[in-house]
Amino acid sequence: MPSLTEAAVLDALRAVQDPDLHKDIVALGFVKSVKIDGARVGLVIELTTPACPVKDLMRDQARAEVMKLGASQVDVEMTAQVRTVPRPEGNKSPVEGVKNIIAVGAGKGGVGKSTVAVNLAMALARAGSKVGIVDGDMYGPNIPIMLGLSTSLESEDGKIKPAERYGLQVVSLGFLTPDEAPVIWRGPMLHGAVQQFFREVRWTNIDYLIIDMPPGTGDVALSLSQSVPVAGAVVVSTPQKVALADSKRAVAMYRKLNIPVIGFIENMSHFICPGCGKESDLFGKGGGEALAAEMKVPFLGSVPLYEPVRRGGDAGTPIVMSEPDSPAAKALVAAAERVAQQVSIASYSRKQIPLTAV
């Protein structure tokens, strides 16, 4: 039987591979501590995100490999340290207090982009990440409604203090304008607002800053690409051809702006009748996954059409919090895990997320 030493334990743990980075957890530096007390072993394994979709699998594999050495008990503590995605551009300074900026956009309005953005942020926060959200949809700043926030932003030492709700740090133009006031701004004003939301806000230890983008391909996306290093963009669509055609334009826009496309989410993918349980494809079927394959971007998942998602948005209680066991919430949590997964991959190698059109 092999001896129970630190060297033997580390050697055994080389059998545990990260399925995304394709290296073992020892080579990747994930094993932060090995403590041996007789036949008992304690491990600390640090992953690249609290939202790792294979965290439990890797923990169980590590325990099993060390048990083969003759250990009577193996305690595995899983921790996480989110890394910053490196950017090739040298002319964009990072946003203070923020590791990764993720844009959530759509080629057209009405596809549930803001709902997806809020629930992605909530899912990442509930997994243990520090998350902020910027309401970048300047013409329809609805994030405060979706989070049940009614407040005014305050300043401290010359910096704007984000509002806080459900563990999220939140900034929105909706905090600065009356609900009924239209936002009629030209490009320079939009650019100034984008700059202010990043450079003049006191963000604190943010792992993922989610930006709810305005629909379409306009000034805000251009200002974003010119102002700050963006880890990547998530594109949201519904399955029908009209939405998918606009989504192709959104993907092309992000690529032209050198913002990597993290992946594609198909929202309102199908409807399950609450009375009979029959599934209906109201907007078509499979279009999102087919488009992701065509555009060579990861498919992050399908979210069903579910009335409580809408009710939760109106009431300020996102579905991942109000009904975490519902199919819609589970789909959104899985999509958030895949977003974190893609950001982690990109933090090691940009080859996994194309920078330009394929």
More confident residue, 222 or 114: 114
Residue 238 counted as domain residue: yes
More confident residue, 329 or 353: 329
Nearest to 49 by CA among 99, 9, 111, 109: 99
Residue 194 counted as domain residue: yes
11 with 122, same domain: the answer is: no
131 with 158, same domain: the answer is: yes
Q: Output the CA–CA distances (angstroms, integers) from residue 133 to 27, 172, 294, in the order listed.
A: 34, 8, 30
Of 38, 53, 80, at which residue does a domain stop?
80
Question: Could you report the per-residue pLDDT of 202-213, keeping only the tens digit for each?
Answer: 999 999 999 998
261 with 183, same domain: the answer is: yes
Rounded percentage of the chain residues whose pLDDT exceeds 70: 83
Residue 145 counted as domain residue: yes
72 with 107, same domain: the answer is: no
66 with 139, same domain: the answer is: no
Average pLDDT over residues 91-96: 79
Question: Could you report the per-residue pLDDT of 224-264, keeping only the tens digit for each?
Answer: 777 788 899 999 988 877 777 888 888 888 888 888 999 99
24 with 117, same domain: the answer is: no
Of 52, 80, 108, at which residue does a domain stop?
80
- pLDDT-based confidence at 282, cuts 50/70/90? low
203 with 324, same domain: the answer is: yes
Name the DSSP class of 224.
Answer: H
**Amino acid in the structure at residue 90:** G
When divided into structural domains, the chain yields a total of 2
**Which residue is associated with the tokens 């005014």?**
152
62 with 209, same domain: the answer is: no
Which CATH number is 208's domain given? Answer: 3.40.50.300
Residue 89 counted as domain residue: no
Q: Is residue 331 within a helix (H) or strand (E), and if so which, with residue range?
A: helix 327-348
Which CATH number is 26's domain given? Answer: 3.30.300.130
pLDDT at 177: 59
pLDDT at 180: 54
Q: Output the CA–CA distances (angstroms, integers) from residue 75 to 12, 56, 63, 65, in the order listed.
A: 15, 13, 7, 12
pLDDT at 219: 66
139 with 254, same domain: the answer is: yes
Is there a contact between 212 and 114 (Cβ–Cβ < 8 Å)?
yes
Residue 90 counted as domain residue: no
109 with 18, same domain: the answer is: no
Residue 244 counted as domain residue: yes
Residue 91 counted as domain residue: no
Question: Could you report the per-residue pLDDT of 121-173, keeping only the tens digit for each?
Answer: 999 999 999 999 998 776 677 898 999 988 777 777 888 889 999 999 999 87
Q: Supply the DSSP string of 91-134, one letter for each residue.
A: S-PPPTTEEEEEEEE-SSSSS-HHHHHHHHHHHHHHTT--EEEE
pLDDT at 196: 79
pLDDT at 91: 60
73 with 163, same domain: the answer is: no
pLDDT at 357: 31
Residue range(s) defining the domain that contains residue 10: 6-80
Instruction: List Cβ neighbours of 12 (8 Å cut-off, separation of 6 or more).
Output: 2, 65, 66, 68, 69
pLDDT at 27: 92
Residue 1 counted as domain residue: no
Of 80, 115, 140, at which residue does a domain stop?
80
Q: Please tell me which of 72-76, 155-159, 219-223, 278-282 the model is most confident about, judged by mean pLDDT.
A: 72-76
pLDDT at 51: 92
Tell me phi and psi for residue 215, to 5 degrees: -70, 155
43 with 170, same domain: the answer is: no
